[in-house]
């Protein structure tokens, strides 16, 4: 794909979102939750683990631990019994106890909605805070997970390796009214079509818009 000007890249990004939205209008977060606390815990648990795996363990966890006080009053050992099939379950168990304690101490047991406040909570990084705030209508953000990091490069939207710098590129590329939608659509596309090693370019709605950076070229017979 020939070098494109900044305005051309913005127009291409808008078309990417439009086509993905038309192809996957049902796109949404795939973690199961019913309250802000359940959302925060589920997103925290999803690091280095699939959403499907998290959804398998959270029903029992959420039945037993309904409030920040419940997490604050338990021990990591107890939580490990619920989370042992989740990646990094020991660290996450410790983080959930500290999370409950911090929510009680600083936020009267409630989940804050600002990204800055969320980022200061135990076990919550900038990406997790971004995901939580956009789903609680706290702030507009474009949190970067592994799918967005990979597809942004493949689509030629950014060359940044650092998630925060990449998010800044994406925020400049699209109007803030589309950040939430684009965030979810790109994740769904990465999971369903644009695989890291074997992207299904033959059935991709973005095939003519994508420079396919990093995609191995097929060898001619």
Dihedral (Cα; 48, 50, 51, 53), 10-degree rounding: -110
3-class SS at 141? coil
Q: Stretch 178-185: mean pLDDT, rounded?
A: 98
| Domain range list for the chain | 6-28+142-203, 36-135
169 flagged as catalytic: no
What is the C-alpha separation between 167 and 41, in angstroms, rounded? 23
Given this structure, which CATH class describes domain 36-135?
Answer: mainly alpha
Its sign, for the CA torsion 112, 38, 188, 88, is positive
What is the C-alpha separation between 64 and 190, in angstroms, rounded? 34
Q: What is the pTM of this model?
A: 0.92
Do the domains spanning 6-28+142-203 and 36-135 agree at the CATH topology level?
A: no
Count Cβ neighbours within 10 Å for each residue of 119-131 and write b for 16 or more, e otherwise.
Answer: bebebbebbbbbb
Count Cβ neighbours within 10 Å for each residue of 9-20 and write b for 16 or more, e otherwise.
Answer: bbebbeebbebb
Q: Point out the catalytic residue in the list 127, 153, 197, 218.
A: 127
What is the C-alpha separation between 176 and 161, in angstroms, rounded? 22
Q: Point out the catalytic residue in the list 145, 176, 181, 198.
A: 145
Confidence of residue 215 (pLDDT cuts 50, 70, 90): confident
What's domain 6-28+142-203's architecture?
Orthogonal Bundle (1.10)
Q: Which helix (H) or strand (E) holds 192?
A: helix 179-192
Per-residue pLDDT for 1 more than 50?
no
What is the C-alpha separation between 164 and 86, in angstroms, rounded? 26
145 flagged as catalytic: yes
Choose among 157, 159, 116, 158: nearest CA to 139. 116
pLDDT digits (tens, 9 = 90+) for 54-79: 999 999 999 999 999 999 999 999 99
């Amino acid at each position: 794909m020939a070098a494109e000007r900044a305005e051309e890249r913005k127009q291409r990004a808008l078309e990417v979102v439009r086509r993905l939205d038309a192809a996957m209008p049902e796109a949404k977060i795939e973690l199961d939750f019913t309250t802000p606390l359940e959302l925060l815990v589920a997103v925290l648990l999803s690091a280095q683990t699939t959403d499907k795996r998290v959804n398998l363990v959270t029903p029992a966890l959420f039945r037993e631990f309904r409030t920040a006080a419940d997490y604050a009053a338990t021990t990591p050992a107890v939580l490990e019994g619920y989370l042992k099939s989740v990646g990094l379950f020991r660290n996450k168990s410790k983080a959930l106890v500290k999370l409950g304690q911090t929510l009680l101490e600083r936020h009267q047991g409630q989940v804050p909605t600002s990204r800055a406040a969320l980022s200061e909570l135990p076990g919550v990084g900038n990406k997790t805070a971004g995901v939580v705030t956009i789903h609680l209508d706290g702030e507009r953000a474009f949190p970067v997970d592994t799918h967005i990091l990979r597809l942004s490069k493949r689509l030629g939207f950014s060359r940044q390796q650092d998630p925060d710098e990449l998010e800044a590129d994406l925020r400049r590329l699209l109007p803030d009214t589309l950040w939430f939608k684009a965030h979810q659509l790109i994740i769904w596309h990465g999971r369903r079509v644009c695989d890291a090693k074997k992207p299904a370019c033959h059935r991709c709605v973005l095939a003519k818009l994508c420079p396919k950076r990093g995609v191995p070229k097929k060898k001619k017979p």
